[in-house]
Amino acid sequence: MKDSDVIIETLNPKNVIPDKLKPGNRLGTKVIAVIGGCGDWAAYNGDIDWSDDYVAKHGTKIPREAAERLFIAPVIAGLHYRGI
């Protein structure tokens, strides 16, 4: 097997033992923006292995400042960020 054949998995940072990290490991999280029906929007954070729908429904809402850096389109559209 060649290095190019190796599948590199993105790890969930909640499940990683810090002293077991090694070069090449990747840690990930998922952030989803949800456009509301009243000219508003919000962004939610969840585990990398959650579906987009699950993150949108059960994720943790992230602060406006972080959300606006990640998702510029709702800001340009003039939508109001709901939440924290």
Please say if the pLDDT value at position 8 is more than 80: no
Cβ atoms 6, 26 nearer than 8 A:
no
DSSP 40: E
Give residue 7's pLDDT: 63
Please say if the pLDDT value at position 3 is more than 60: no
Task: Give 30's pLDDT tier (boundaries 50, 70, 90).
Answer: very high
pLDDT digits (tens, 9 = 90+) for 33-64: 999 999 999 999 999 999 999 999 999 999 99
43 vs 22, residue with greater confidence: 43
The residue among 81, 41, 76, 43 whose CA lies nearest residue 62 is 43
Task: Give 66's pLDDT tier (boundaries 50, 70, 90).
Answer: very high
Segment 29-36 shows an average pLDDT of 97
